Amino acid sequence: MRTQVITAIQNLALGGVNLVQELPYDESGVPLYTKNPKSLYVDRTQFESVPVVQTLGGTNINNTTTSVSVYLAVDAKNPPQQLDTVINSLRGIEDSLTIDGTHTRESTVSTDYENDLLIVTVDYRLTRIN
């Protein structure tokens, strides 16, 4: 799913925001997205499986959620004028993400402040029954 998110983001007009192919892992204890403002980092794909039905015969039906997070840090005092447009564009790609059998597609945006940076996190979640 990470590859799908990166491909979808590459097709967006990001107005001065760069897409980085690297993972947002810490370098010297500091997340890379805080060291490189105005850069989008896409994290690894995460999986979570929650049992829906468990039978005595050993057949289980699970809701499996596949998720990816995208991080963007910008100057909190002077955010780019197009920040809202970039965030809305990022939210809009959830419908282009596909996994066979997906019944729910969600994206959430959260913000946090760290020193003088506004950190925007966009989480994509696709859920399917298997």
Per-residue confidence in pLDDT tens, the chain, 130 aa? 999 999 999 999 888 899 999 999 877 877 899 999 999 999 999 999 988 888 888 788 889 999 999 999 999 999 999 999 999 999 999 888 888 888 899 999 999 999 899 999 999 999 998 8
What are residue 56's phi and psi, to 5 degrees?
Answer: -70, -25
112 to 29, 36, 76, 98: CA distances (angstroms): 18, 16, 10, 29
Amino acid letter, 73: A
- Residues pairing with 111 in the sheet: 120
Q: Which of 46, 44, 30, 45 is nearest to 119 (CA)?
A: 30
Residues 63, 14: Cα–Cα separation, whole Å: 34
pTM, rounded to two decimals = 0.89
**Residue 64 burial by Cβ neighbours in a 10 Å radius (0-12, 13-18, 19+):** middle
The bridge status of strand 18-20 relative to strand 39-42 is parallel
